[in-house]
Structure 1
Amino acid sequence: MVLAIDINGDCSDRHRCKQSEVLPVDGQLREGLWIKTVPSAYDETQVFRYLCRIGFPGNWSVDSVKDFKVDLDNLALLMRLHIVAFAFENTAMHYAKDHAMDISLPGLYQRLVIEGKGSHCFGMNTLFLQMIRALGYRAYSGSGRLNTAAPEAPPTFITFTHQVLFVQPVQYSNTTYVVDVSGGGSGLTRPLLLKHGAKVVGATPSEWHTLVKAARYGSSLSPSFDSKESADVEWHLIISRTSDDGTITSKLLCSIIETEFFAMDYECSNISIYTGAWAEKEPLFMHNVVCSKSFWLCDEEMEREVAQMGGVPRWDGSLNARFLGRLGMLNNEVKRHVGTRSETLRIFRNELQRIDGLREFFGIEVPLVDMENIRGRLAALELP
């Protein structure tokens, strides 16, 4: 910042103190930053097995991984296949002997790619980051603060316990997208352009996500010397849904900052989550067994969703155009969500039923012997 100072050492009336502003460019990181190409922690064999696990179209081999086409369309497809293949879930913190949720790179590869289980946002996005880096994408990991308040209430943010990714999928371009493959019930299902007001459709056209540049609540930062306004230093991710009667409801999901975060940052936050340090502020994980997984709509459901949109051309049959539904389990109830419709599929009365349900609906195997590890926890159902 350059100041005009008079001989008495004060800012002159003629040259008021001003902050040299670098105006943001739509779709770019602050100051037009570029993301470097960073080697992946996973090798070609691991990436090949990942592509097979998520069912990425094509005849892949260990040697052909290096020929993967890096572009926005394939990034979107990878993202959608990932949240269909893997569940957002916290079963390890309740059924594992140590009650820990492992987000180490070897642990995530074993749990997701080899065993077909899931993880929470730290695990899902950490694995995805390393896989897309191996495929040639320029990306890094950021963080966000979840809003725990009700939709109509003022935001209440907890600390940085959410992970997102920033990706520049176009060669020789620093156009940037926000990616989140957590796979939870309100999460992104497609890349979202880093632009104020950018929107992207959600699982179906009845929901959409919007990104807004905003000031941090309670911030001491200002855009200029004499401004009374707070500076727009973070991004707010908002989900909106329309009901059958046309009513639109919106909720601020989280605030996101562009600062790069690293493995140790997530490890520290992860420990606070599975040990219950944040249970008083956000009891969801400690008080419940949580599981959510996306699925592709069948042709009949697709036709119904397209018809409800009115005047929209028939979908082209591609996976990037096909809509998604979600299966969600909160403690003892499994629901199926498609567009504006939800139905209860199963209610569990004991741990044996819930373990069967985890396998049936989400493909997650919990050994019967591990039931004993949930005994005495708030999330436990009736045990033998």
Structure 2
Amino acid sequence: MIDIRLHHPLSGFDLDVSLQAGPGITALYGPSGSGKTTLVNAVAGLLRPRAGRISAGSDLLFDAATGVDQPPHRRNIGYVFQEPRLFPHLNVRANLNYGAKRAHKAAAGPAFDDVVDMLGIAPLLARPTGALSGGERARVSIGRALLSKPRLLLMDEPLAALDPARRAEILPFLERLRDAGLPVIYVSHALPEVTRLADTIALIDTGKLVAAGPAHHILSDPTLAQRLGGAQAGAVLRVTHGGVDDDGLTRLHLGGQSLFLPQSSPDMGHDLRIRIQASDVILSRNRPEGLSALNILTATVTQVQPGDAGRVFVQLTLPQGQILLARITARSAAILQLRSGTPCHAIVKAVAMDRADLSRS
């Protein structure tokens, strides 16, 4: 467990955060300039906070009160920057071996072949780094950090410099990294990316920790929806893969209910998660008839929270206990007389969901 408590002055506000990060991906999410990079730099030892304490298990990395401040090379922490910092005079294999040579002798971690296989970079080993695409460079940078066998991996917006196609290429590899169980602190202000990857979300704004908790709890909280992108806000549902129907639709099981995607998705395993944007959910008090929409879920209203521009966020509980969000107009909520305990039906257009919204759980 990584325990972070720090206070540090920044331009216009103070960074004042207490946070714990365990196995899996803890995403630091918030607007640019909110202090996320400063926080990970302090954990890495690249910045000395004015006050605070940082520990990794029983190992004290920094304590302003006692003067403890381990240098970066002794903290056994990997760091993947926004721009991959590969050595241009070395090929891919040599760059990876550089990370392996920096590994602590007693540290546990993945073997060279395991990292190469997980990241799909075996065909790249003999290439010079100048011949790599942006997505390939990002994967090699992650591999080099992993081969140093860190106890913690810091990733500061590693996909921000990539175009959408390259981001889509590397996201499945980051899912594999999450599944490996290594603690990862992942900085981003891209909500779809965070939604797909994070086990835990820490929402940071102007240096303060607004909320932190399991991703599905934070994303489905209507009181946080405006901070989580407004129109982009949405919940994550845990589903199981039910195969592909004869007409090409992918069936997902959600308790005793089903969701359908408009095209076949690759088999990513049995347990999956799907992101549904609140703006893609329509509500009805009665089960609708004669609609083209296939995804009609029985639900109960648990909260109605004001949003912006005459809209509200409606939190819904599905029969198996999972949470869905809908973003509708305040007028519609009033006409439907929505309040806590109101039974209703949530309609989600199949065409509103695609493979990018589906990932391994």
TM-score range, shorter chain: under 0.3
Instruction: Give TM-score, length-normalised by structure 2.
Output: 0.27
Specify which structure has the higher proportion of strand. Answer: 2
